[in-house]
Structure 1
């Protein structure tokens, strides 16, 4: 077995610290007892976590973002599953172009998407509506779900489906009893990643949100425009905790490494 050199270990350690340090600082600031951003070295407090419960606009924005993320991720997955099966299982003219087209939202800056959707939805009179946000978020997060479902598709042995059909199973039964369970790790990880991406989206949502459809990231952004206090840090710490819990559950039931490579050990 090859081992990393001491220099490589030092590099990876420094890189990990560089990535994690800002998140740690945000979580520490959330426990300050001051009325401004500071480290809680002279006294920790849950003051700003309690403040969240006294801000109904943040609570409403949280539940709205949660519902929007669930609906958008489900919509994205409903589009990603048939697309992944078609692209990953069959060879047909234009397959590469279709795959590139479906993944194109990853290559377009969210600022550009926000401006484009603002103009397009204004023509359809759905800008600032719940429907407009669902459509925009579903399109933006669909490539994340598609990539992970494609990874699971590549690990399916076609002979299993052929064997089921040779024994008299219909196409729907084969899909339900054979294909779908094998795709489940990719479906679960794709849904979770799409949900997290939708829940955390800010840049595009700023252009599409309205007073009645304000997501939590947009609410935090509007709050920062007025004042900078540890309330935003406490909300951010809660979001970090929620993300870690989701990733831990995903790792427990499916295994993150298995989900990323699309195959089991």
Structure 2
């Protein structure tokens, strides 16, 4: 092996070891969900799908999964609708309070979500929105919007303005220009921001716990409440199902839009 190859080989070894370290907890969770024992155990003591069946027969888990999915999708969609025009305005125009507006929109990134949850509960009490899906949607939109905003701002360039002017010169109306010129240029930032927004909403506990009820529960809050009283392989099965669902979503995204669409990169042919 030549001297020049040593750093590259060492980097690969370190990368694989790091990846293995990150994947090890997932292997432990999935293995624990397949154990025959009545308690969490790894390596699993025999293999069974009993705990997955137990999860599927408990309607509260299905409801929690459904609520989390709908909530994350709705919050992500609402954040996209609100932040894409905002990002264009902040990046292209100078107006009084521009810096303050940008700082306020980014504030949820540094504010503890438990504080936002308590504030939302108090604020919603004045309008009768406490512990409702709408209350959760408002809170989740607030905490995920900064991810979309930052991602979209990162892909806005001065050259895009020239393309929009060219589109207008060719007779396209503003709406057509936005759909066929602006959005395709912003696509990498939109995709990345939407992924981060969905994940942030899905895993949130701190804000959600203030606004959930027994009949309106998200899966992270349900798991948080469950482990306070019972620790059996059912919780590992729920976590394992979440891991499988995440892998399926990633595969779907790769097949449909391609995950190589990142800011500063072009999709491979």
Same fold flag (TM > 0.5):
yes
Q: Residue 52 of structure 1: SS of its match in structure 2?
A: helix
- Is 2:46 aligned against 1:49? no
Residue pair 2:121, 2:130 contacting (<8 A) in 1 also: yes
| Aligned residue among 179, 193, 197 for 1:194 | 197
Provide the rounded CA distance (Å) in 2 between the counterparts of 1:231 and 1:148. 37
- Give the structure 1 partner of residue 207 of structure 2: 204
Flag the 1:19–1:155 CA change in 2: closer, same or farther, 3 A.
farther
| Aligned residue among 85, 96, 104 for 2:107 | 104
Provide the rounded CA distance (Å) in 1 between the counterparts of 2:251 and 2:147. 19
- Is 2:248 aligned against 1:245? yes
- Is 2:84 aligned against 1:81? yes
- Is 2:170 aligned against 1:167? yes
**1:184-222 CA distances to partner (integer Å, 9 max, x unpaired)?**
343233223312221221121111112232111111122
**1:21-56 CA distances to partner (integer Å, 9 max, x unpaired)?**
212211111111111101244411111111111101
| Aligned residue among 102, 119, 123 for 2:122 | 119
- Is 2:37 aligned against 1:25? no
Please tell me the root mean square deviation across aligned C-alpha atoms, in Å.
2.4
- Give the structure 2 partner of residue 177 of structure 1: 180
Provide the rounded CA distance (Å) in 1 between the counterparts of 2:58 and 2:254. 33
Provide the rounded CA distance (Å) in 1 between the counterparts of 2:161 and 2:6. 37
Gaps of 5+ in 2: none
Shift, 1:256, TM fit: 3.0
Shift, 1:10, TM fit: 4.3
Q: Residue 134 of structure 2: SS of its match in structure 1?
A: helix
**1:40-81 CA distances to partner (integer Å, 9 max, x unpaired)?**
444111111111111011111111111111211111111111
Provide the rounded CA distance (Å) in 1 between the counterparts of 2:7 and 2:246. 30
Provide the rounded CA distance (Å) in 2 between the counterparts of 1:3 and 1:87. 47
Shift, 1:156, TM fit: 5.9
Provide the rounded CA distance (Å) in 1 between the counterparts of 2:26 and 2:245. 13
